Structure 1
């Protein structure tokens, strides 16, 4: 596509944006006929048969693949599209793959239909991030389905391969300055021609990998699963006719579009934005970088842009396909989860207007391979924050669809080395356990997984010890503290410790240690957990184990701590070195000082929260036996904490008036509401009833602003010495009457932000 300023989005210099009308070779016949008059029973049978074709496609992948990241994590996605690549069905696996196959198929139609051509029995392979893949380990295999001599539809899958080359084992190359040090990016090539695997192309692909046997079997699983799905669709066509099956496909798309449009009608026109920060663009860098996203709703359509995002740099980039997939993932999880993967109609109502050359829409040759652990999750989290703000302004029934933002990285550890003389790569994805952020009405789910991969699971410790030369000392829940606190708290994550076993050592290629939390809780909720990675060298772990002791704290061991960085180089660890790392507690929702004291007491009684932490974070006073809340002391403590906030805060730039006590307020979320003030729809604070200006303006101008180092909010946020987290601030926008938080965000010092929410 060429946009209005002459920018070419062709998948070469920058990401691929398809033309509204694809340019396809005239010799390729497309099946475009679709029956309109289908009886309801036939419609229902075919519709669910198509859905089950996609389910069986995914189950076939899971059963045939050999890599744990596919078998356990379900790091894959099958789909069915129309002849032109429009999505019909997506599976319950990685949701940010929502448009990868669609974009890749459209690129194939525009660029391969003439040469080498698209024929029955063909399949195409691609892992090019500038075409459709989020990063190079995510490999698309797409198969055209022909009825007679007409291209009827496509089936496709995408899965994360264990290793596809590059400078780092596992192919998350944090040290890559550009694509020429990244794993090879292969634009769509014909891997199967008329039913026969192209040996030369297959060998070219496998030659890049450190684990060619694993990759070979997973590739053949992808090809086989496409063949199964193709056979099932052709059986449907044979039974009901091509026009009927195509009619059901198009009707499913149309119905999902109508459902989404109906929900959009319950959201006022407006503009919502958010910013999220990340640390380091690669080994040796301590910079702080910003990703920004804005959604504008006008009538029955959404426009999305990434203006305000920092320029592309290092290895923390994605191309257009990644940004689009991340946003649509967060949008459909909140607004269309009941459509069972029939998201193509939703996609029709979203237009992405990206700024090229940025971290979230990079131009070639920006490095992209680490995106699967970093930037994709950052953008899903960012998108989730924006969608949550938008839904909070909707009608009450739609407000309940709002969900908290996801963790801003996929906390994982990739290790590797040799086991019994053979190379191995071990992606430890224990963070699939997850910790869902809070919602407007409930606490987040402890160990609740991730909304962007519903079917993903974490491996059992015993399974992982069988697979890899490691011993797991413990895996347990993170405590509840300031991280994730709110009126509703975030779900709990985990902490885990590991040591090499049966081999003298190994290498750690991917790990994460943050010095500030990126994930701010919506409407004044506390940020989620900072991921930690700690490495203790030369410990006495082997002596402890020989004495029959299994240590339950890395701090209790002897040895030296090795300083690490957020995105560091390869670490070589020996037999007595031990590493501990965490997932994350999700973010809170709403001010922690509004949390129900009984909910705080419940967390204390279950052992999730320490009584002293409860008083520090929530100003809830509990008796020494943890039997009851002292309500009088709690009220006094909260009054003192709120007054202290206002004393330390900067006064509002514009002095607000106070709403008439008889005027009704409609709640948005937390302490923010809407009311009619002297004939103008205005933002107001719920408890203090301060009028925060017209709804089409910036309510933060009417708030007291308290900006403090994030680390001042508790030891949970304390960074190591010399780390950039000491420079990062938490900015709270307070009701100038009560001191309760209306909103809050993590910012660089003195950073000016545009309004995060306004109704037009």
Structure 2
């Protein structure tokens, strides 16, 4: 039975825990559908995909334990995507543009709105790495110097409108790939994952009622913010700076610095990348959303296991990076390796800064690479 008044009374700890678990289970089921239906080893075997739920404003509500850089960047950019487009039941929007919420071009994102009647309640989203998106070299991870060399750029566009596939968009994407049949299989799997997620989320909303569901999302984010704040307040106030270097950009530029100053004030965190190198000719640049994913990941690692994967967790963390620097690159800078190399080195830089404040809680740095081989 629906209980439209329950949301006005708030959620106790048990009810909120159950609500969070049910959201996460939707994301887990989306991931299972995507993996089992996909064609390529990238998704089936490497598990290079992520699934999440966002509220109607584009704030992260839940995610499965998949790829941090995927959903950290989406959490940072989803609000802008939501505002750019109009939405109706049965839609699915596709994108991979790194400067409009993507990471790098092989990562293709599908977004499906979830409605209760005429009311937009949220979105289900999945992102998956494709073996090819049309670059000159197989794998679509070339030693590139501009975005157009890295493959087909898909700005946010409707792939499905009100349940009907846009065949011009669909065929255009498949035509850009070396293996259209494999691409078709993976994209179909992504569409199916969102359909499954939409059905499950609609069932949850119908069971609880729209007021209770909305109240649950707000309560979950408020809880995440409180829990995160309790951890961040334990970091001593101060300003902590650390610098690390990328070896080179593949185009002849070596020793490329990434610098961050982490300022802590009573549980509020400001991360400033002033001092980082300007964007380079090679493809180790990244948009700010990808750098944000690395920053979020480090702070999330400090939090207890029960911390919900929601937007509230990151509300007390702000970022700044000069426009045109390596971690806030301007279009059309190449970014294929920024998602896998620069983002990993950002993690080491933030860990290095925090090690000055909480040395007993920070792990040693890794070697700052995802070890990709093309």
TM-score by length of 1: 0.47
Kindly state the Cα deviation for residue 286 of structure 1 after the two structures are TM-superposed: 5.4
**For residue 223 of structure 1, what is the aligned residue in structure 2?**
191
Pairing partner for 1:35 from 4, 7, 17 = 7
Say yes or no: does 1:327 pair with 2:289: no
Quote the RMSD (CA, aligned, Å): 1.9
Kindly state the Cα deviation for residue 341 of structure 1 after the two structures are TM-superposed: 4.7
Whole-Å separation in 2 of the counterparts to 1:56 and 1:279? 40
Pairing partner for 1:403 from 358, 363, 371 = 363
Kindly state the Cα deviation for residue 104 of structure 1 after the two structures are TM-superposed: 4.7
Structure 1 residues 50 and 349, CA gap change in structure 2 (3 angstroms): same
Pairing partner for 2:266 from 289, 292, 299 = 299
Kindly state the Cα deviation for residue 34 of structure 1 after the two structures are TM-superposed: 9.1
Pairing partner for 1:187 from 139, 143, 155 = 155
Kindly state the Cα deviation for residue 124 of structure 1 after the two structures are TM-superposed: 0.7
Q: Do the aligned residues in 2 keep the contact of 1:83 with 1:152 (CA within 8 Å)? A: yes
SS at match of 2:274: coil
Q: Do the aligned residues in 2 keep the contact of 1:98 with 1:328 (CA within 8 Å)? A: no
Kindly state the Cα deviation for residue 57 of structure 1 after the two structures are TM-superposed: 1.4
- CA deviations on 1:425-469 (whole Å, 9 max, x unpaired) are xxxxxxxxxxxxxxxxxxxxxxxxxxxxxxxxxxxxxxxxxxxxx
In structure 2, runs of 5+ residues without a counterpart are none
SS at match of 2:334: coil
Kindly state the Cα deviation for residue 105 of structure 1 after the two structures are TM-superposed: 3.3
Q: Do the aligned residues in 1 keep the contact of 2:73 with 2:103 (CA within 8 Å)? A: yes
**For residue 62 of structure 1, what is the aligned residue in structure 2?**
35
Kindly state the Cα deviation for residue 38 of structure 1 after the two structures are TM-superposed: 4.1
Whole-Å separation in 1 of the counterparts to 2:349 and 2:102? 20
**For residue 103 of structure 2, what is the aligned residue in structure 1?**
134
Whole-Å separation in 1 of the counterparts to 2:355 and 2:243? 14
Say yes or no: does 1:168 pair with 2:128: no
Mean CA deviation greater in 204-213 or 298-307: 204-213
Kindly state the Cα deviation for residue 403 of structure 1 after the two structures are TM-superposed: 2.4
**For residue 342 of structure 1, what is the aligned residue in structure 2?**
309
Whole-Å separation in 2 of the counterparts to 1:101 and 1:124? 14
Alignment of 1:63-212 (within 5 A): 63-112=36-85, 117-174=86-143, 176-212=144-180
Q: Do the aligned residues in 1 keep the contact of 2:220 with 2:310 (CA within 8 Å)? A: no
Q: Do the aligned residues in 2 keep the contact of 1:179 with 1:366 (CA within 8 Å)? A: yes
- CA deviations on 1:2-31 (whole Å, 9 max, x unpaired) are xxxxxxxxxxxxxxxxxxxxxxxxxxxxxx
Q: Do the aligned residues in 2 keep the contact of 1:256 with 1:339 (CA within 8 Å)? A: no
Kindly state the Cα deviation for residue 103 of structure 1 after the two structures are TM-superposed: 4.4
Q: Do the aligned residues in 2 keep the contact of 1:91 with 1:341 (CA within 8 Å)? A: no
Q: Do the aligned residues in 1 keep the contact of 2:76 with 2:292 (CA within 8 Å)? A: no
Mean CA deviation greater in 372-381 or 82-91: 372-381
Structure holding more helix per residue: 2
Q: Do the aligned residues in 1 keep the contact of 2:235 with 2:267 (CA within 8 Å)? A: no
Kindly state the Cα deviation for residue 267 of structure 1 after the two structures are TM-superposed: 1.7
SS at match of 1:35: helix
SS at match of 1:106: helix
Kindly state the Cα deviation for residue 387 of structure 1 after the two structures are TM-superposed: 3.4
Kindly state the Cα deviation for residue 90 of structure 1 after the two structures are TM-superposed: 1.8
Say yes or no: does 1:387 pair with 2:354: yes
Alignment of 1:193-592 (within 5 A): 193-283=161-251, 285=252, 287-314=254-281, 315-333=283-301, 335-336=302-303, 338-339=305-306, 341-392=308-359, 399-400=360-361, 402-413=362-373, 510=374
- CA deviations on 1:614-645 (whole Å, 9 max, x unpaired) are xxxxxxxxxxxxxxxxxxxxxxxxxxxxxxxx
Kindly state the Cα deviation for residue 367 of structure 1 after the two structures are TM-superposed: 0.8
Q: Which has the higher contact order (CA 8 A, sep 6+)?
A: 2
Q: Do the aligned residues in 2 keep the contact of 1:105 with 1:142 (CA within 8 Å)? A: no
Whole-Å separation in 1 of the counterparts to 2:51 and 2:120? 19
- CA deviations on 1:376-395 (whole Å, 9 max, x unpaired) are 22222223333343332xxx
Kindly state the Cα deviation for residue 47 of structure 1 after the two structures are TM-superposed: 2.7
Larger radius of gyration: 1
Q: Do the aligned residues in 1 keep the contact of 2:35 with 2:44 (CA within 8 Å)? A: yes
- CA deviations on 1:105-128 (whole Å, 9 max, x unpaired) are 32232222xxxx211111111101
Whole-Å separation in 1 of the counterparts to 2:91 and 2:103? 24
- CA deviations on 1:315-341 (whole Å, 9 max, x unpaired) are 2100111111111122212x2251355
Q: Do the aligned residues in 2 keep the contact of 1:101 with 1:140 (CA within 8 Å)? A: no
Number of equivalenced pairs: 368
Q: Do the aligned residues in 2 keep the contact of 1:121 with 1:193 (CA within 8 Å)? A: yes
Q: Do the aligned residues in 2 keep the contact of 1:85 with 1:103 (CA within 8 Å)? A: no
SS at match of 2:186: helix
Whole-Å separation in 2 of the counterparts to 1:91 and 1:254? 19
Whole-Å separation in 2 of the counterparts to 1:353 and 1:343? 21
- CA deviations on 1:533-554 (whole Å, 9 max, x unpaired) are xxxxxxxxxxxxxxxxxxxxxx
Kindly state the Cα deviation for residue 298 of structure 1 after the two structures are TM-superposed: 1.0
Q: Do the aligned residues in 1 keep the contact of 2:290 with 2:339 (CA within 8 Å)? A: no
